[in-house]
Amino acid sequence: MTGLAIENLSMRFDLPHGGSVQALKDVTLNLAEGELLSVLGPSGCGKTTLLNIVAGFLAPTQGQITMNGHRVTGPDAERGMVFQQGALFEWMNVRDNVSFGPRMAGRKASDYGPNVDHLLDVVGLRDFKDKAVYELSGGMQQRVALARCLANDPDVILMDEPLGALDALTREKMQGLVLKLWKETGKTIILITHSVEEALLLGERLVVMAPRPGRIHREYRLPFAEMGVNADLREVKKHPDFAKTREEILSMIWDMEEEIMGRTEVAQ
């Protein structure tokens, strides 16, 4: 079986001074190869935790993840991750960052070099390949992170708010880039975001999570990502269904947040 299967995943964090937090409860998700799933949810609903478990950085208290028929027990090059920020190696220049994966695998420069150069072209950083990463802007750094992940050719790309720290314009350009790369490479992608618009634009499927305990609240199948591959993203946003779905999800998340707030008020 190809693809990614998340089965009955539960995660409980034991707190140092007693008590525990149920970060995830019975999360089940199946992703076919080449699917792009975006995940939305109020803060603290376990999105990062879910992604960390899929990446193999955390072991779940219950349930399991199966990838292409084998069980996930730790991090692996088949599952690449793009972090929100600060995960580049600032002691390497742009090119060495991007070629990190192939180099660690012991491949020759003549072998991975053309691909790395091609990826730097794709993310528009050809002229910056000898620069130190700390000399780049935030948006450029995220493009390096994306290229680094792609250069390693993973089957699944996990992104935890990869565009969260960018300004609106850069963000829009990067969204276009993510769509383009997804279509070109056919990777399976899980994208966590705080922006409903971004989730709608990029997600072929969209999952809205609910907090306490973290669980899947609703799932959508959306046409916008397909549309966005060929059209201007701004045109896609004008689609009547887009606005309708956005309002629906926004009020859903709003209700959840209100419920949390209300509950804390009662507790006080």
Partner 1 sequence: MIPFLIYAAIFIASFVLVKKVLRRARPQDFTSLKTVTFGDESAVVSDRTASVVSIATIFLLWGMFTGSTLLPSFLHAPGPFEGTTQFDYTVEAGGQRDSATVTVVVHPIDRDPVLPEVDPGDGFAKNDAAAVGRWRSGLIRVDTNDEIGRDGGAVVVAIDGQPIAPGERVRVADGTVTLSDRGTPNFAPSKGWQMEPIWLPPPEAVASRLMEIASEGFRGATLAEHLGLSLFRVLVGFALGALIGIPLGYAMGLSNWFRGWFDPIVEFMRPVPPLALIPLVIIWAGIGEAGKIILLFLAALWIMAIAARSGVSGVRISKVHAAYSLGASKWQIMRHVIIPNSLPDIFTGARVAMGVCWGTVVAAELVAAEAGAGMMIMVASKFQNTDIVLMGIILIGVIGFAIDMLMRWAERVMVPWKGKG
Ligand X SMILES: Nc1ncnc2c1ncn2[C@@H]1O[C@H](COP(=O)(O)OP(=O)(O)OP(=O)(O)O)[C@@H](O)[C@H]1O
Q: Which residues bind partner 1 (CB under 8 A)?
A: 55-57, 74-77, 79-81, 83, 86-91, 100-101, 104-105, 132, 134, 148-149, 152, 154, 158
Which span (44-52, 114-122, 142-150, 179-187) binds ligand X, by CB under 6 A? 44-52
Pick what 105 binds: Mg ion, partner 1, ligand X, none; C-beta below 5 to 8 Å, kind-dependent. partner 1
Q: Which is nearer to partner 1, 80 or 211 (CB)?
A: 80
Structure-token match 């059209």, residue found: 231
- The residue number whose beta carbon is nearest to Mg ion equals 48
CB 176 to ligand X: min, Å: 24
44 is an interface residue for ligand X by CB under 6 A: yes
Rounded-to-integer distance, Cα 223 and Cα 100, Å? 35
Helix (H) / strand (E) element for 157: namely: strand 156-160
Rounded-to-integer distance, Cα 71 and Cα 64, Å? 7
Q: Would you say 197 and 236 are in contact if contact means Cβ atoms under 8 Å apart?
A: no
53 is an interface residue for ligand X by CB under 6 A: no
48 is an interface residue for Mg ion by CB under 5 A: yes
* Residues facing 99 on adjacent strands: none
Q: Which is nearer to partner 1, 21 or 136 (CB)?
A: 136
Rounded-to-integer distance, Cα 242 and Cα 153, Å? 32
175 to 214: interface string for ligand X, x by CB under 6 A: ---------------------------------------x
φ/ψ of residue 209, rounded to 5: -100, 155
Q: Would you say 66 and 4 are in contact if contact means Cβ atoms under 8 Å apart?
A: yes
The secondary structure of residue 91, as a DSSP letter, is T
CB atoms within 10 A of CB 49: 21
By CB under 6 A, how many residues form the interface with ligand X? 12
Pick what 220 binds: Mg ion, ligand X, partner 1, none; C-beta below 5 to 8 Å, kind-dependent. none
Q: Which two tokens stand for residue 5?
A: 């299967």
48 is an interface residue for ligand X by CB under 6 A: yes
Q: Which residues bind Mg ion (CB under 5 A)?
A: 48
